[in-house]
Amino acid sequence: MTIENSIMVFIEQRDGKVADVSLELICEAKRLAKSLGVPVTGVAAGHHMSENLKPLGGYGCEKVYYTDDKRLSYFTSVPYAKVIVKTIKKYHPQIVLFGASTTGRDVAPRVASEMKCGLTADCTELKIGNYKTKSKEYKNILHQIRPAFGGNIIATIVSPEGGISMATVREGVMKMSALDISIKAEVIKETCDLADDDFMTEVIEIVRKEKRVNLKSAQIIVSAGMGANSPEALKLVKELASVLGGEVGSSRPVVDSGTLSRERQVGQTGTTVRPNLYIACGISGQIQHRAGMAEAKRIIAINSDENAPIFDIAHYGIVGDVCDVIPKMIKAYKAEA
């Protein structure tokens, strides 16, 4: 048995192609691993995808423990959880990271339950630090940071006992750094000892829909909050986005109200964006929203309440009604075009 003390990332795949969130997590793991002096490894399951795993080395993943089986081509809960648990038990990583995707959020809790270890969902920041109780001091453990309880607090969570910490992180939260294609990861094949009985879910059909909205790559985002959720204001938000050549984003309550689709939600439980320009229209600026947009290069906030928290992170603040301000912006932009 090899005890590695690595940071392990669950490598999520679709049709054999590695998901972006896994690459982002490898980059974050690399950063954490540096301060611990340990390697970054990956755990993957799939079929005929060794070649797609080698490039992970370029992001900082040294080895990938890969279980290949035709029955693992598609994600199903029990077999994937078993593969991950087996790999963890064999190599003893001290930290395991999962994307907070529908797949990661399905399998991570199952793995954590079997390993009887802590799992923190939707972290917005990860750090290595110490933790002291009255009787004991824990050195170099994972500090998992996430907004909690209505966003009014930021909680730092640790799982000191049990020797293993697990966390999920949403796509886009961690930065992906440039690929060094000359470095290849070592792909280590693990034997698959799953029985047919472990495959309890029969996949009948998979329908992938093209993402119609790509907030992550938009350079300009105009977002509507509850202060811009009237038909009139929404029309103006869409018009401003189209005039500036940007995408429409939104806060969560607007999505919950059904006026904009879920894929437009910016924030902790939506998409994290880093555009050149973010225009927040009638958005109060709660932490869960800010978690998804605070790193925009420039932020304009339009809000009728001069004390709205969004003004604290905006580079430019306009106090006023969205229906009054947006037409002026459109006019000014067109006038100089």
Residues 141-160 that bind ligand FAD (CB under 6 A): 150-151
Residues 268-287 that bind ligand FAD (CB under 6 A): 268-270, 282-284, 286
Bridge-based pairing of strands 40-46 and 7-11 is parallel
**Residue closer to ligand FAD (CB basis): 79 or 267:** 267
124 binding ligand FAD? (CB under 6 A): no
Q: Identify the residue among 89, 180, 184, 201 touching another protein (CB under 8 A).
A: 201
User: Segment near ligand FAD (CB under 6 A), from 12-20, 94-102, 209-217, 301-309?
Assistant: 301-309
Question: Site size for ligand FAD, by CB under 6 A?
Answer: 29
Tell me if 168 contacts ligand FAD by CB under 6 A.
Answer: no
Of the CA atoms within 13 Å of residue 174, those in its CB half-sphere come to 30
Cβ neighbourhood burial of 205 (10 Å; 0-12, 13-18, 19+): exposed
Neighbours of 61 (CB within 10 A): 31
Q: Judged by CB under 8 A, which stretch of 48-56, 59-67, 187-195, 294-302 contacts another protein?
A: 294-302
Taking CB under 6 A as the criterion, the residue among 303, 311, 318, 326 binding ligand FAD is: 303
Q: Report the sign of the C-alpha dihedral through residues 83, 85, 90, 96, in that order.
A: positive
Length of the chain: 337
Q: Which does 270 bind (CB under 5 to 8 A by kind): ligand FAD, another protein, none?
A: ligand FAD
Decide whether 252 or 274 has the Cβ nearer to ligand FAD.
Answer: 252
Q: Which residue of 58, 79, 225, 249 would you call a contact of ligand FAD, by CB under 6 A?
A: 225
Q: How many CB atoms lie within 10 A of CB 32?
A: 18
Tell me which of another protein, ligand FAD, none is bound by residue 131, counting a contact when its beta carbon lies within the kind-specific cut-off of 5 to 8 angstroms.
Answer: another protein
The binder of 315, among ligand FAD, another protein, none, by C-beta within 5 to 8 A per type, is: another protein
Question: How many Å apart are CA 105 and CA 84, to the nearest integer?
Answer: 14
Residues 9-28 binding ligand FAD (CB under 6 A) are none
What is the DSSP secondary structure assignment for residue 227, as one 8-state letter? G
Look up residue 176 and give its DSSP letter.
P
Instruction: Report in angstroms how near the CB of residue 62 gets to another protein at its nearest.
Output: 28
State phi, psi for 35 to the nearest 5 degrees: -75, -20
Nearer to ligand FAD, 56 or 273 (CB): 273
Q: How far is CA 282 from CA 82, 224, 307, 322, 329, in A?
A: 46, 6, 12, 7, 15
- Where does this chain touch ligand FAD (CB under 6 A) — which range of 30-38, 73-81, 130-138, 260-268? 260-268
Q: What are the distances in angstroms from CA 40 to CA 6, 44, 45, 294, 321?
A: 6, 13, 17, 28, 50
